[in-house]
Amino acid sequence: MKKILITGALGQIGSELTMKLRNEYGHENVIATDIRQPESEVVTSGPFELLDVTDHEKMLAIAKKYNVDTIMHLAALLSATAEAKPLLAWNLNMGGLVNALEVARELNCKFFTPSSIGAFGPSTPKDNTPQDTIQRPTTMYGVNKVSGELLCDYYYQKFGVDTRGLRFPGLISYAAPPGGGTTDYAVDIYYKALEEGKYTSYINKGTYMDMMYMPDALNAIVDLMEADPSKLIHRNSFNVTAMSFEPEEIAAEIRKHIPQFEISYDVDPVRQGIADSWPNAIDPTCAKEEWGFKAKYDLASMTKDMLSKLKAK
Ligand code: AKB
């Protein structure tokens, strides 16, 4: 990777990935794009262009202007927003992806896009969910993610585009907040623990979902993109996870640092329904075997780091 174009660079993954890649590959070599341009170090610390990913011509023009060799396509609506606005989600998530793949094909770029545990559905095995298994999601987000995985495989097989992807679990970070996801409770809970000493969860106790701390997610992206292609049996997309927990378990971990912390519940039927359709815990063995995936943080070390970083903010 020498010249990298990132879409959705101001989102939850994008804002941290842009800064990590700028530090690793040089600030001028990472071109950040987003549909908005707020005050942010992503905008000021290197090249930045306004881009609506449904505009193929503009995406192609930016990619040509900077002579990019890698595209990291992150712009997308997350699960809860996609469920509220399904047609918009289809148009943005699928329209943006096919445009980005076309630019990668036209300019012979390497390509990364995230998939999600949302690509699984109620008929998928819930525990130790295999890499290759039933994928019949019941959400618009999931339909987008499965279609996206297949489309990326198609561009690899048909046109030779070097597409690679990760099925991310809920991502937890102290830097940029997520927006419109089902797993976001596991981020909000840390903010509220510090601000108010209590949190009302929209996800019910007993609901297990996979999660990962952002530094592990960023390393996974870089490691996958730098992996030897001859070792990759799978491409789109690899199961990756660092931990699986339910709200009571994260609350108990927070209580080790804030003993008076209390959790209560006001379950949101839409997000609970989405969570219930997803696996409890996925199996990342293929990612470990094919390109050496390894997560450093578990629930205890992540909680310690999250709380100290948020306090210092
Ligand atoms: C969401 O909750 O929508 C995302 C995801 C797991 O893909 N965090």
Residues 162 and 205 in one domain: no
- The count of domains in the chain is 2
Atom 4 of ligand 1, nearest CA residue: 181
Q: Quickly state the pLDDT bin for 1 (edges 50, 70, 90).
A: low
Residues 74 and 198 in one domain: no
Q: How high is the pLDDT of residue 313?
A: 87
Atom 7 of ligand 1, nearest CA residue: 116
- Condensed to tens digits (0 to 9), the pLDDT of residues 262-312 reads 999 999 999 999 999 999 999 999 999 999 999 999 999 999 999 999 999
**Rounded-to-integer distance, Cα 16 and Cα 163, Å:** 21
The strand pairing partners of 238, in sequence order, are 166
The set of protein residues with a Cβ atom below 6 angstroms from ligand 1 is 78-79, 116-118, 141, 168-170, 181-183
Rounded to the nearest angstrom, the distance between the alpha carbon of 286 and the centre of ligand 1 is 21
- Condensed to tens digits (0 to 9), the pLDDT of residues 125-142 reads 999 999 999 999 999 999
Residue 20: which H helix or E strand, with range?
helix 12-25
Q: How high is the pLDDT of residue 183?
A: 97
- Per-residue pLDDT averaged across 2-30, rounded? 96
Residues 229 and 253 in one domain: no
Rounded to the nearest angstrom, the distance between the alpha carbon of 75 and the centre of ligand 1 is 13
Q: How high is the pLDDT of residue 254?
A: 98
Which residues are part of the catalytic machinery?
A: 141
Residue 66 sits at φ, ψ, to 5 deg, of -100, 0
Residues 164 and 256 in one domain: no
Tokens encoding 197 = 């000493």
Mean pLDDT of the chain: 97
**Which DSSP string corresponds to 155-203?**
HHHHH---EEEEEE-EEE-SSSPP-S-STTHHHHHHHHHHHHSEEEESS
Q: How high is the pLDDT of residue 223?
A: 97
Task: Write the ipTM.
Answer: 0.98
Residues 285 and 222 in one domain: no
Which ligand 1 atom sits nearest the alpha carbon of residue 182? 2
Residues 140 and 181 in one domain: no
Atom 1 of ligand 1, nearest CA residue: 181
Q: Is the pLDDT of residue 195 over 70?
A: yes
Q: 3-class DSSP state for residue 211? A: strand
Q: How high is the pLDDT of residue 178?
A: 77
How many alpha carbons fall within 13 Å on the CB side of residue 58? 12
**pLDDT exceeding 90 applies to what percent of the chain?**
96
Single out the residue of 178, 183, 233 nearest to residue 203, CA to CA.
183
Rounded to the nearest angstrom, the distance between the alpha carbon of 79 and the centre of ligand 1 is 6
Cβ atoms of residues 170 and 183 within 8 Å: yes
Q: What's the sign of the alpha-carbon dihedral 245, 246, 252, 253? A: positive
Q: Is the pLDDT of residue 36 over 70?
A: yes
**Rounded-to-integer distance, Cα 110 and Cα 69, Å:** 6
Cβ atoms of residues 43 and 204 within 8 Å: no
Which ligand 1 atom sits nearest the alpha carbon of residue 209? 6
- Condensed to tens digits (0 to 9), the pLDDT of residues 144-188 reads 999 999 999 999 999 999 999 999 999 999 998 878 999 999 999
Rounded to the nearest angstrom, the distance between the alpha carbon of 248 and the centre of ligand 1 is 20
Residues 220 and 284 in one domain: no
Q: Quickly state the pLDDT bin for 228 (edges 50, 70, 90).
A: very high
**pLDDT exceeding 70 applies to what percent of the chain?**
100
Which ligand 1 atom sits nearest the alpha carbon of residue 118? 7
Residues 18 and 59 in one domain: yes
Structural domain range at position 198:
170-211+242-312
Q: How high is the pLDDT of residue 38?
A: 87
Residues 100 and 249 in one domain: no
Residue 310 sits at φ, ψ, to 5 deg, of -70, -35
Which ligand 1 atom sits nearest the alpha carbon of residue 178? 8
Task: Supply the CATH number for residue 305's domain.
Answer: 3.90.25
Structural Rg of the chain based on CA atoms: 19
Q: How high is the pLDDT of residue 176?
A: 82
More confident residue, 179 or 89: 89
Cβ atoms of residues 136 and 123 within 8 Å: yes
Cis peptide before 277 (omega within 30 of 0): no
SS3 content of the chain, % helix, strand, coil (to 5): 50, 20, 35
Residues 60 and 78 in one domain: yes
Token look-up 């378990």 returns 249
Q: Which one-letter DSSP state was computed for residue 231? A: G
Q: Tell me how crowded residue 22 is: count the other CB atoms within 10 A of its CB.
A: 21
Atom 8 of ligand 1, nearest CA residue: 170
Residues 265 and 196 in one domain: yes
Task: Supply the CATH number for residue 131's domain.
Answer: 3.40.50.720
Q: 3-class DSSP state for residue 69? A: coil
Rounded to the nearest angstrom, the distance between the alpha carbon of 66 and the centre of ligand 1 is 31
Residues 104 and 182 in one domain: no
The residue whose CB lies within 8 Å of the most ligand 1 atoms, and thus the one to mutate among 168, 172, 185, 203, is 168
